[in-house]
Structure 1
Amino acid sequence: MIDSTLGRAGAVLALLLASAPALAAPAAPWVVKPEWVKADEAYLASDALAGRGSATPDEAKAAAWVASQFEQFGLVRAPGMSGYLQTATIVQPKLGGAPALGVGGQSVAGLTLLMAPAGEVRGRLVIATSDDPAALPAGDVIALASPKLPLIPMLMAARGHGAKLLLVRESAETKGILKQMGGAARIPGYLEGDAPESIALATLPPAEFDRLVQKPGQEVTLALPGMTATRSTTTNALGYLPGTDPEAGVLLLSAHVDHLGRRPDGTIMHGADDDASGVTAVLELARALAAGPRSRRGILFVCYGSEEMGGFGSAYFGAHPPVPLSKIALNIEFEMIGAQDPKLPRGALMVTGYERSNLAETLAAHGALVAPDPYPEQHFFERSDNYQLALKGVVAHTLSGWATTPVYHQPTDTIANLDLPFMTAAIQSLIEPVRWLAASDFQPKWNAGGQPSR
């Protein structure tokens, strides 16, 4: 999941066979075997894949393995593709020297950069006194004066306003975020041909920050010396189950195959929950659905690369889909399903953006144990690969387990800390609801105001 960064039962439906005009016999109940789930996890979260770092050879190795599993299950290449892999080039800026902050022509000490754009920042200082993201003022450089710090929502609001730099008081939260990033500033990459990220996020010690907020209207500069850029390749794995009705549309089931790789000290960030668990769900649904009769709708299974770097694999897929986006009836993303959330009903998975469309309530009506997201302040809907498709109009949601698990982005996110029985049951519970979606003519719709614009 991107930094701040689900027993259902249903009736087994008769499906149409491509080779016969009559209805097929009901599909035999499919049982997800715990040993399959464990084996998927054991490889994806193994030392051999070294944390599947975004846009690294380890990510490519993981994607190639997923693709081989798709082929083994009987999935075919997605329409128009010559293979099971889709690659894209990511440009990654790199800072060559220490960043420097100036206010009114005077240097400011103690700057810690959490996120940087690809070049120098310059603008007038605006002070935000409210902790409500909706009340964030517009400006090139914004300092958050409120002691309350909903940092991620504020950053998203600032980006939406076109801000270039967001300055905040150093706190335990900001120190924790820096630690999660390995102690170094994040400089977002971008897909080759796209515009780079344009906002910076930085902290100042409390005393320096308190002096800063007394200087609204001052000219602020953020110098980023020695900027260079490298290029790397990110890899998506795609597999396809053709449907019997070409006009019925396509279901998209997805997860992200990458994680955080190795920390500078060599520690492997295995990412067993985030998001090897989601990839395992996609694999086991592919195994189950490929073994049954063909559905009315086609089903596209995709495991994206470089979600952790900023959703680049899904962004590239959204710009280069193997089927027109207008043909994708819906997208279900699987993210961190490896543990039960204590805030959710027993066995339930949360649906991010539950109220944004009629998809979740329809799944629930057909036996899916799904529940609304109990963490709206975390903006999880916008923090996974579903968002890239939602921005383009596809009704797309993420199903997740314990989204605020203590192992999130920690070295402890290992297979030893997964609840494999819960995870197996969660995957099992989704088979019949997905079969129903694939057999039906249900077309989900955004509720009023539900489709995001950015």
Structure 2
Amino acid sequence: MKRIFAAALLCTALASPAIAQTAAPAPVTTAAPASDWSVKPEWIAAHVRFLAGPELQGRGSMTRDEAIAAAYVAARFQGYGLQPAPGADSYIQKVKVIRPRLDGRPKLVAGGKTIDGASLLFGGVARVEGVATLYMGDNGAELPAGDVVLVGGSKLSAMAALRATRGRNTKLLVLRESAETRKIWGQLGERPRLDAYLADQKPRDGVSVLVLPAAAFDKAAKAAGKPVEMTLPGLVREEVETTSAIGYLPGTDPKAGVILLAAHVDHLGVQPDGTVMYGANDDASGVAAVLELAHALSSGKRHKRGILFAAFGAEEMGGFGSRAFAAAPPVPLTDIVANIAIEMIGAQDPKLPAGTMMMTGYERSTLGPALAERGALVAKDPYPEQNFFERSDNYALARRGVVAHTISGWAVTPTYHSPQDTIANLDIPFMTRAVQSLIGPARWLADTDFRPDWTPGGKPSE
């Protein structure tokens, strides 16, 4: 019944005169022999045109638009002959999430004095207190431990400082305002990214990150060695729902394991000022790739291994679709041979060899080299300092031991998290060649006994 509803919802949307002009689905063609399969650029473009079109308003995480996008993917999965995931009666998976909202500004008191002008970038803990430690250096590796750390070094980036707090039990990171923090604030839609959590789990006590204007930071810095307290008086917690789509192609050998090919269906949606963030590259391009891999791999003979195809929801708000999948997988995690997430393949990175994509954490396992050897257009990540391996849906699986990586075309494209991330700025021919290059290696992985392993030191800790 739910599968029929998803398909009916999609057909109703596509029948609307306002949508039909730009949202026609990719045609389901008569299956060709697997060796003769060719990805058509019009199929890729049709998926992206619907997902990143004006009708879906940027597919904001945990919104009706995200749910409609997932329904589109579910309908395509059904049309390609996939089944629901093992144990499921629908291609749709809905997950309840507790999402905090901040109605107001944070309050900061340092050394007994109120510090005005604070903006919260990340966080979600209602109250943080501790003794302030001041760091004015430029080396994240030297960042001191402490409950509250104020960072005023001119060369240490905000994201490097945040990464440096890991494993140090830092509760609050206070940064001096900079061009970088203003850029991050803009990319967040000028609203804080608060720590949401799955409704059936406890909230995580992550690091809260405050930004202070220069004069306010200097005032707060004088409280080094003294008590500091931050409170969020306008913090509200609400229950919302994210939607993922999951399809399954059973294998011939139940003992051979399963492959997971995934992307994320959501983006940033509509901003407070009404700006639509379309998310054509991030990550309608990845969803289009997963759909066309499902299209190709479901044609021809059955594979030895089963293949799960997923379009996860709420990646942009904390990876909740993939985290829910990892917490309650449809097959045991030990049966998942490999996970390949596809993210932002709509443009070619000028740092990469012509025509190739990067694989995050390429050197951390034997998967990337094995795929590249068999024709996948993948290479090493040229931005190791960005820690992209930990910044997409693959990481929820990798932390639980699954060999999981993300493939991306240009991870630092200028259109990232901007209103310019539209289909007009995608390189459809490049995307078509990229997806085509993955079909043979994916088919090989589904039919071989090869099982990738982590290289020494490559496996992340939970």
Normalised TM-score (structure 1): 0.92
Distance in 2 (alpha carbons) for counterparts of 1:212 and 1:374: 38
Distance in 1 (alpha carbons) for counterparts of 2:92 and 2:159: 33
Superposed, 1:61-100 pairs within 5 Å as 61-100=68-107
> Does residue 1:367 correspond to 2:375, yes or no?
yes
> Which range moved further: 326-335 or 96-105?
96-105
Q: Report the CA distance between 1:169 and its aligned residue.
A: 0.8
Q: Report the CA distance between 1:129 and its aligned residue.
A: 4.1
Specify whether residues 159 and 195 from structure 1 end up closer, same or farther in structure 2 by C-alpha distance, changes over 3 A only.
farther
Q: Report the CA distance between 1:226 and its aligned residue.
A: 3.0
Asked if the contact 1:349–1:426 (Cα under 8 Å) also holds between the matched residues in 2, the reply is yes
Give the match for residue 351 of structure 2: 343
Superposed, 1:194-209 pairs within 5 Å as 194-198=201-205, 199-209=207-217
> Which range moved further: 278-287 or 229-238?
229-238
Structure 2: where are the runs of 5+ without partners? Answer: 1-31
Give the match for residue 246 of structure 1: 254
Q: Deviations over 1:247-294 (max 9, x none)?
A: 110000000000001011222111000000000000000000001211
The AA in structure 2 aligned to 1:366 is: R
Q: Deviations over 1:153-207 (max 9, x none)?
A: 3213324322111111100110111111221222221111323243211111223
Q: Report the CA distance between 1:334 and its aligned residue.
A: 0.1
Superposed, 1:25-104 pairs within 5 Å as 27-104=34-111
Q: Report the CA distance between 1:77 and its aligned residue.
A: 1.2
Give the match for residue 199 of structure 2: 192
Q: Report the CA distance between 1:370 and its aligned residue.
A: 1.3
> Does residue 1:225 correspond to 2:222, yes or no?
no
Alignment RMSD: 1.5
> Which range moved further: 268-277 or 363-372?
363-372
Normalised TM-score (structure 2): 0.90
Partner SS, residue 28 of structure 1 = helix
Asked if the contact 1:153–1:379 (Cα under 8 Å) also holds between the matched residues in 2, the reply is no
Give the match for residue 460 of structure 2: 452
Asked if the contact 2:33–2:299 (Cα under 8 Å) also holds between the matched residues in 1, the reply is no
Asked if the contact 1:117–1:196 (Cα under 8 Å) also holds between the matched residues in 2, the reply is no
The AA in structure 1 aligned to 2:282 is: D
Partner SS, residue 270 of structure 2 = coil
Give the match for residue 186 of structure 2: 179
Aligned length: 430
The AA in structure 2 aligned to 1:94 is: R
Specify whether residues 26 and 423 from structure 1 end up closer, same or farther in structure 2 by C-alpha distance, changes over 3 A only.
closer
> Does residue 1:398 correspond to 2:402, yes or no?
no
Give the match for residue 413 of structure 1: 421
Give the match for residue 224 of structure 2: 216
Distance in 2 (alpha carbons) for counterparts of 1:414 and 1:405: 12
Q: 2:126 aligns with which of 104, 112, 119?
A: 119
Distance in 1 (alpha carbons) for counterparts of 2:33 and 2:288: 26
Asked if the contact 2:124–2:196 (Cα under 8 Å) also holds between the matched residues in 1, the reply is no
Distance in 1 (alpha carbons) for counterparts of 2:113 and 2:53: 50
> Does residue 1:280 correspond to 2:288, yes or no?
yes
Superposed, 1:413-452 pairs within 5 Å as 413-452=421-460
> Which range moved further: 279-288 or 221-230?
221-230
Give the match for residue 328 of structure 2: 320
Q: Report the CA distance between 1:238 and its aligned residue.
A: 0.4
> Does residue 1:271 correspond to 2:279, yes or no?
yes
Asked if the contact 2:359–2:368 (Cα under 8 Å) also holds between the matched residues in 1, the reply is yes
Specify whether residues 246 and 423 from structure 1 end up closer, same or farther in structure 2 by C-alpha distance, changes over 3 A only.
same
Distance in 1 (alpha carbons) for counterparts of 2:169 and 2:428: 43
Percent identity (aligned): 57
> Does residue 1:142 correspond to 2:163, yes or no?
no
Question: Using CA pairs below 8 Å that are at least 6 residues apart, which structure has the higher relative contact order?
Answer: 1
The AA in structure 2 aligned to 1:216 is: A
Structure 1: where are the runs of 5+ without partners? Answer: 1-24
Q: Report the CA distance between 1:128 and its aligned residue.
A: 3.0
Distance in 1 (alpha carbons) for counterparts of 2:459 and 2:443: 25
Q: Report the CA distance between 1:97 and its aligned residue.
A: 2.9
Specify whether residues 193 and 57 from structure 1 end up closer, same or farther in structure 2 by C-alpha distance, changes over 3 A only.
same
